[in-house]
Amino acid sequence: MRADIEPSRARFRRLIAANPNHFGTLGAASLAGNLPVNEEKQGDTFYEALGCVSYSPERDRLEATVVIKRSAGYSGGPCTPGSTEWVRFYVDFGSGWVDAGAGAARAFDLPAGRDCTGEPDHPIVHAVGVVLTPLRKFCLVPVLPRVRAILSWEQQPTPGDPDFIPVWGEVQEDTVQIRPRRFFFPHDIVEVLKPKLEIDPSVLDDLVEAEGLPIPMPEPDPIGPVALNPQPLPPRVSVTTPRSARVLARAYAPEKLTALAERATDRKVAELALDPVPPHRFAATEAAVAISGAMTPSALAQASFTYKELGIDWGEILGQLEDGQGNTTYEELECVGLDAASAQLVATYRVKRPTGFSGPPCSAGSTEYVAFWADFGDDCRYTYLGTVEVAAHDYITMPSSGLSYAALLPIELDRYRRLCTEPGVHRVRAVLSWGSPPSTTDPDAVPHWGNRLDTHVHVPPGRPYDGVARMTIVGGVATQEIHPGTGVTLPVAHLAYTGAALDPRGCPFAGRVTVHGPTDPALAGSTYRLMVRDVTAGGAPSPVTTPFFVVDSGGFGSWVTPGGGGWTTWPVWSANTLGTLGYVDTSGDDLWEVTLEVGGPGAVDSQRVQLDNTLNAASVDPANAAHLEFDPAQIAQQGCGKFTQGMVVLGTFDARDEWFGSWGFSLLPTALPTGALTTSVPLSTSEAPVGSTWQLDTSALKPCGYVLRLGVSDRAVVNSTWTGRTVAVDVGFCIE
């Protein structure tokens, strides 16, 4: 760590460990009143800040871009564990904030320099995301929730606390759009035919007249994917063909816009809705086809005649759309970053206006295209990576700040990894284009409707492709971060597909252990199998034949079932972007060994994993126990768990686990008053032995029935995706 990094940054973890309220961010949290504030600091964005908060309706994923501003202050370079940038997301569908989960990115000290163009290579932009499985509604009832992202360096935001105050980091909110579900009788017909629709009934007339109502089609609620077991990309909702210029000219007539503006919930949005949609906007898609040369002479003549009937100069439209200036009146790219945990480039753009997107949600609408380019060779030559499509519609109920969308492009990140001694900082570019795809051959081309945005990203170090078959990730953790003998994670370990740092005390594994390998083209066509054996119990290894799920580069998924003896074809990135080799379903608490065989019997790689499938609970097992009760003498005196307001209630507890994580108290149905509960064991990350005591001051509690809850968590990596199972032990009592 550089000497010029202030102590509050350089010693942050030690300061927080000694006093969680060192910086005064606990607020009204339990025990905060007993912890002094040594140095006030909240929401400091000197080192990192949030760039954008967005949502991908196509992939049901929340994303936030994290801007790394400095070259130092992140606990070490790429050859060290670095530090963790946490982002926790909350979503409000109208009834309050709901915790949507947390993700993380690893940040490193990277020397400030200049890229091949001479431009500074800082700031560096990360992206952090989580999967969201929302409740959907029919397209006539738009779902536009608020999203809150909390960025916090090195300290994970507390689950379930939307008011968490970060020391280093910040909080940002935005509004997003949830992909609607398809029309399905009989449920949706009831919602559609309400006496007061949330959408102007005249829109239904337009749909019937111009395009017909959507075809009823069932679409089950999607199953939310997890980091290592993603589900297929859902189909885009497109129930009709694109609306013609004639239909759009009528839909955006002054009287229609006036009626539309009357339904706006925001005054500024109502004003924007009254602005005429210019012809070169709603004619852009057809004009792009003409400019590309795909129209026959007769089709061009027909288009010119049609627009002439509408009082529109077809030639003038073609000229306007070829200016290459980039018009951001309706949409604009705001952020581009790399989500290294999920191996995706993320571009965030904002929809600024309620109209001009070719129709409401139940129509075909239009398409926003985002093309991605990268200079991974650092030679000032951009390589085209792919284009992402996102559906676009008119939303009159949007807020004046607009709607924030994410376009996600999976990339074969392992192809571009370098050794930790190399910087790994690269230029990336995103190009936004509405109505027609941007160029795939000219990275400098700027569409008329849209814009271009460049940034720098850091590809975390790793082993480059070398033609060697190996297991790269086991149980959600990189194999180099698991002890080869004990099968326990090392102090530097992280969850590979979220970036979250694991408990430095070491973690065992529980449930499903997923196995991944490199999608090295040199291995394509070879066969492999996984073998597993119980090292503790002894015995011969057996083949793994459990079906496993893979996702291709287009976002579509499928199941792979190993053949006879467990043999399967080695994965290629285009068909299996995560390089999933198989699922090992575990049981018990023994030490297991997973072995990889390629091309025939004989191990080429192996990895041990220590298992912990036993939960802590009220149990006779002394190593895995959680216990909570009132003081017997006080109960005998009071009787039946009834206490007088103002009394100090006494009790005992213990919190133990062979792989202990932490313990904590909570009160239901209300929060614990500040300083009301004290314990004989002060640190929640230390086991509480038998006979540990607690006392609860009931002065601040109103007469009512309550439940005191002790939650005890272990530190196992569960199903390769998350850590820490919590068992709750409750006692009930009444205050009179």
Q: How far apart are CA 730 and CA 628, in angstroms?
A: 7
Q: Domain check: are 703 and 593 in the same one?
A: no
Tokens of residue 728, six digits: 């709750």
Q: Are 55 and 74 in contact (CB under 8 A)?
A: no
Q: Domain check: are 519 and 390 in the same one?
A: no
Q: Domain check: are 107 and 188 in the same one?
A: yes
Predicted model pTM: 0.85
| CA dihedral for 719, 722, 724, 726, sign (positive or negative) | negative
Domain of residue 679, CATH code: 2.60.40
For residue 661, the enclosing domain spans 625-735
Q: Would you state the pLDDT for residue 250?
A: 85
- The whole-number mean pLDDT for each consecutive block of 10 residues of the chain, a chain of 736 residues, reads 79 89 74 74 97 96 98 95 95 95 94 94 96 89 96 93 96 97 53 45 42 38 35 38 72 91 94 91 76 73 75 76 85 97 96 95 93 95 96 96 97 92 94 94 94 97 92 96 97 87 94 96 96 96 97 90 96 95 97 95 94 74 81 81 90 92 90 86 83 93 94 94 90 92
DSSP SS3 for 466: coil
Q: Domain check: are 500 and 449 in the same one?
A: no
Q: Would you state the pLDDT for residue 204?
A: 42
Q: Would you state the pLDDT for residue 256?
A: 92
Q: Does residue 315 belong to any structural domain of this protein?
A: no
Q: Would you state the pLDDT for residue 682?
A: 78
Q: Are 270 and 398 in contact (CB under 8 A)?
A: no
The C-alpha angle with vertex 372 and arms to 47 and 446, in degrees rounded to 5, equals 100
- Bridge partners, 106 (sequence order): 84
Q: Domain check: are 424 and 487 in the same one?
A: no
Instruction: Provide φ and ψ at 246, rounded to 5°.
Output: -65, -45
Q: Does residue 37 belong to any structural domain of this protein?
A: no
- Nearest to 145, CA basis, from 208, 62, 82, 202: 62
Tell me how crowded residue 122 is: count the other CB atoms within 10 A of its CB: 17
Q: Domain check: are 578 and 630 in the same one?
A: no
- Nearest to 445, CA basis, from 351, 379, 389, 382: 382
Q: Does residue 468 belong to any structural domain of this protein?
A: no
Q: Domain check: are 250 and 213 in the same one?
A: yes
- Bridge partners, 461 (sequence order): none
End-to-end alpha carbon distance in the chain: 56
Q: If phi over 0 gives left and psi between -120 and 50 gives alpha, with beta otherwise, what is residue 696?
A: beta
Q: In total, how many domains does the chain have? A: 3
Residue 236 Cα to chain centre, angstroms: 20
Q: Does residue 7 belong to any structural domain of this protein?
A: no
Q: Domain check: are 127 and 265 in the same one?
A: yes
Domain end (from 580, 610, 640): 610
Residue with token string 């941007």: 438
- Nearest to 12, CA basis, from 85, 100, 88, 71: 85
Q: Would you state the pLDDT for residue 183?
A: 56
DSSP states along 474-531? ETTEEGGGB-TTT--B-TT-BBTTT-PBPPTT---EESEEEEE----GGGTT-EEEEE
Q: What kind and span of H or E run contains 453? A: strand 452-458
Q: Does residue 392 belong to any structural domain of this protein?
A: yes
Q: Domain check: are 489 and 349 in the same one?
A: no
Q: Does residue 15 belong to any structural domain of this protein?
A: no
Q: Does residue 202 belong to any structural domain of this protein?
A: yes
Q: Are 308 and 274 in contact (CB under 8 A)?
A: no
Domain end (from 578, 610, 642): 610
Q: Would you state the pLDDT for residue 619?
A: 54
Q: Domain check: are 454 and 485 in the same one?
A: no
Question: From start to end of 3-118, where are the E strands?
Answer: 48-56, 61-68, 83-92, 97-107
Q: Would you state the pLDDT for residue 189?
A: 47
Q: Domain check: are 484 and 451 in the same one?
A: no
Q: Does residue 647 belong to any structural domain of this protein?
A: yes
Q: Would you state the pLDDT for residue 295?
A: 73
Residue 593 Cα to chain centre, angstroms: 32
Domain end (from 610, 641, 659): 610
Tokens of residue 230, six digits: 């993603």
Q: Domain check: are 504 and 632 in the same one?
A: no
